C-alpha cells in the first residue's frame, strides 16, 4: 500500500501569522490605532506604515497642541504638507519637539517663551508651543496664543535649517485664519534674528502640584 499525504479539508498553503497580519492591515489600517498598526506591520516583517495629512492644514489652538499631536500619532499621521519654500516641498513632523544635540534631555519641546528683539535693548516675550519640526530640517514649527505660526532655528539642532536662515532666527509664517497645503508658498512674513526661547520646566510627576494661579 502506498502512503499518500493527507491535508484534510481546504487543501492549499497554510496561512501564516504574517499573512493574517497583512489581511488585518489591508482592511483596518485607516481605523486601527497607530500602536496596533506598528505591531502588525512588524509581525508581518513589513516597513512601518506612515500616513500624510490630507487636505489644507489649520494649526491647532495653543492649549490643544499636546492633544492634537497625540491624536496625529495615534492615527500614524507623521507628515503634514507645509507649503513650498524656494521650490522645495516641506512637511511638518508633529512630534512636539525638535531633535537637538542636548544629551537626550529634550531641550526643545512643548511650551515655552519666545523672546524676539523689537528695538534697541527691547524684547517682546511671546508664549509658544512646539508642534514639531520641518522635514528634513532642524527648523521648529511653533504656534502662539494668537494663532500665529512661527518657525525657529535652535542653535543646537541636529539637522540644518531651511535655506537662507540662521541659528536663533524666528519668523512668522502663518497669520491667524490662514491655512497651509502642498502648494501654498511658504513666506517668512516677519523675521527676527538673534531670538531665543526659554522652555517651561518639565512637571515632576513624583510631586503633587498646587492649584494653577
Query: What is the dihedral sign for C-alpha 71, 73, 79, 83?
Result: positive
**Residues 101, 42: one domain?**
no
**Residues 116, 157: one domain?**
yes
**Residues 42, 59: one domain?**
no
Residues in CB range of 161: below 8 A, 6 or more apart = 137, 138, 139, 153, 167, 169
Mean pLDDT (whole number) for 56-82: 92
**Residues 114, 152: one domain?**
yes
**Residues 39, 93: one domain?**
no
Contact 167, 138 (CB under 8 A): no
Contact 82, 178 (CB under 8 A): no
Residues in CB range of 131: below 8 A, 6 or more apart = 59, 60, 65, 68, 69, 92, 94, 96, 141, 142, 143, 149
What range defines the domain where residue 28 resides? 16-49
Residue 144 maps to a domain: yes
CB atoms closer than 10 angstroms to residue 62: 17
pLDDT digits (tens, 9 = 90+) for 36-53: 555 556 666 665 555 678
Residues 110, 107: Cα–Cα separation, whole Å: 9
* Count of domains observed in the chain: 2
**Residues 89, 181: one domain?**
yes
Q: What pLDDT score was predicted for residue 210?
A: 46
Residues 49, 39: Cα–Cα separation, whole Å: 11
The chain-wide mean pLDDT, for the chain, equals 82
Residue 77 maps to a domain: yes
Q: What pLDDT score was predicted for residue 50?
A: 53
Residues 118, 96: Cα–Cα separation, whole Å: 27
**Residues 96, 176: one domain?**
yes
Q: What pLDDT score was predicted for residue 201?
A: 85
pTM of the model: 0.74
pLDDT digits (tens, 9 = 90+) for 83-119: 999 999 999 999 999 999 987 778 899 999 999 998 8
Amino acid at each position: 500500500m502506498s502512503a499518500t499525504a493527507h491535508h484534510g479539508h481546504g487543501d492549499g498553503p497554510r496561512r501564516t501569522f504574517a499573512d493574517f497580519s497583512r489581511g488585518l492591515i489591508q482592511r483596518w489600517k485607516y481605523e486601527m490605532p497607530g500602536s496596533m498598526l506598528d505591531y502588525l506591520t512588524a509581525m508581518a516583517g513589513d516597513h512601518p506604515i506612515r500616513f500624510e495629512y490630507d487636505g489644507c492644514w489649520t494649526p491647532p489652538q495653543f492649549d490643544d497642541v499636546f492633544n492634537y499631536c497625540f491624536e496625529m500619532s495615534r492615527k500614524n499621521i507623521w507628515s503634514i504638507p507645509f507649503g513650498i519654500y524656494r521650490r522645495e516641498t516641506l512637511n511638518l513632523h508633529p512630534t512636539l519637539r525638535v531633535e537637538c544635540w542636548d544629551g537626550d534631555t529634550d531641550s526643545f519641546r512643548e511650551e515655552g517663551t519666545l523672546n524676539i528683539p523689537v528695538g534697541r535693548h527691547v524684547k517682546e516675550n511671546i508664549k509658544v508651543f512646539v508642534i514639531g519640526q520641518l522635514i528634513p530640517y532642524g527648523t521648529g514649527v511653533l504656534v502662539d496664543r494668537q494663532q500665529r505660526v512661527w518657525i525657529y532655528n535652535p542653535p543646537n539642532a541636529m539637522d540644518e535649517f531651511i535655506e537662507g536662515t540662521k541659528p536663533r532666527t524666528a519668523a512668522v509664517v502663518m497669520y491667524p485664519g490662514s491655512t497651509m497645503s502642498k502648494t501654498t508658498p511658504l513666506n517668512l512674513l516677519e523675521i527676527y534674528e538673534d531670538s531665543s526661547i526659554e522652555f517651561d520646566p518639565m512637571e515632576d510627576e513624583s510631586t503633587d502640584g498646587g492649584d494653577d494661579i
